[in-house]
Amino acid sequence: MLFWLGCAAFALTILISVSLHELGHMITGKRFGMKVTQYFVGFGPTIFSFKRGETEYGLKAIPLGGFCKIVGMTPQDDDVLPEDQPRAMWRFPVWKRTIVMSAGSITHFLLALAGAWAMAATVGLPNIHLPQTSADQRSYPAIIDVGECLPVQTELKKLDADAQKAAASAECKPGVNGAIVPPAKAAGLRTLDRITKVGQTPVENYGQLTDAIRASAAGPTVFEYVRDGKPGSATVNLISDERAPIEDPKGKVSVVSVAGLGWDTDQPYVVKYSVAGAVPAAGEYGWYLVENSFKAMGKIPQKIPALWHSITGDERDPDTPISVIGASRLGGEAIEKGVPEVFWQIFISLNVFIGLFNLLPLLPLDGGHIAIAWYERVRSALYKRLRRPDPGRVDYYKLMPLTYAVILIGGAFTLLTATADIINPITIFK
């Protein structure tokens, strides 16, 4: 029950975010004197509406977004009454149109900053200064994490395909499907031990630790470590197993020596701030999300094959994009597991991503309208300098094929992610 309540709650937060996005357009448009005739939450048949002033407000049956109607967004709009022509949006200065069109994304950014500030001052924000990838971990101190169970890949490969798939999703237990107690644990090493030497090889960081282990022969190997400021040693019985390169987890696997340990840190994973200190912390966290959102958008094309394969039976790559359905499922998991801070982290990240995505210079996104407005402004200035007649406004009808192509590609991608989220969803808890 908590899972479904969490899903519904997250879907509601997204609906509210999108409604506030449209509210940003409406408020700024009205402030500048543009005529806004409609503001609705949802699409489809109208459930109820009322008119206040010149604007109709209401709720529609399909809660998948919202819209506001600003008169005369383009010169080609043919539904502008003669008396409304002076207030048509396209007639306003380009800087005013830019503010109105970007107000939706700015609203998302403000929601994200407010959410980040609230988290920073209450439950804390993720420590963004810790390494985010396996490659990043290599330069950090060789502080280890020692688990309770180690799946042995060479043993798993002896199982049939169905058993391998079941084992991948099942809890690891020593003695089941070839899993063992990690050699590091069996030797007495503990989480947060800092390894200083493997055999005869000194170790200063986690990358050197991994290289030293993999370069060692399988069998008894002495590990020297520091625990609570005191030195110690343990003999680890290294095993041979298949591993991908540490800097490329999806690279070609090879048989190497394995101790059954991972990277850890003595630094906090979550940092809590004072009310005042939460302000710059929220800004720093927001910028971190901006950078990672751009990286994620750049990787979308290469993730499409993995999305398709996840629908046809392969394991879902946790780095593949998700739809509103997938985000809502993750929000539901967070509530079910009693970690609402994860719920809000997803909400904050999603608002940053939506805000940035909406500013891409492609029609029908807001960024496409902004790009055209500034293209017209620069072109007019250039023609004026060249003492040539102003070429006038861009003909949006000529851009319709490109607009339809963007809509088609976006729709297909949305359908693909939604299908993957239903058939083979990403999960953050196992």
Q: Is the distance from CB of 35 to CB of 42 less than 8 angstroms?
A: no
- Only one residue has tokens 């499907």, namely 177
Three-state secondary structure of the chain? CHHHHHHHHHHHHHHHHHHHHHHHHHHHHHHCCCCEEEEEEEEEEEEEEEEECCEEEEEEEEEEEEEEEECCCCCCCCCCCHHHHHHCHHHCCHHHHHHHHHHHHHHHHHHHHHHHHHHHHCCCEECCCCCCCHHHHCCCCCEEEECCCECCHHHHCCCCHHHHHHHHHCCCCCCCCCCECCHHHHCCCCCCCEEEEECCEECCCHHHHHHHHHHCCCEEEEEEEEECCEEEEEEEEEEEEEECCCCCCCCCCEEEEECCEEECCCCCCEECCCCCCHHHHHHHHHHHHHHHHHHHHHHHHHHHHHHHHHHCCCCCCCCCCCCHHHHHHHHHHHHHCCCHHHHHHHHHHHHHHHHHHCCCCCCCCHHHHHHHHHHHHHHHHHHHHCCCCCCCCCCHHHHHHHHHHHHHHHHHHHHHHHHHHHHCCCCCCC
CA distance 284 to 272: 14
* Exposure b/e, 292-320, CB count within 10 A at least 16 = b: ebeebeeeeeeeeebbebbeeeeebbeeb
For residue 22, indicate whether it is catalytic: yes
Q: Is 66 exposed, middle or buried (0-12, 13-18, 19+ CB in 10 A)?
A: buried
Question: Which residue numbers are catalytic?
Answer: 22
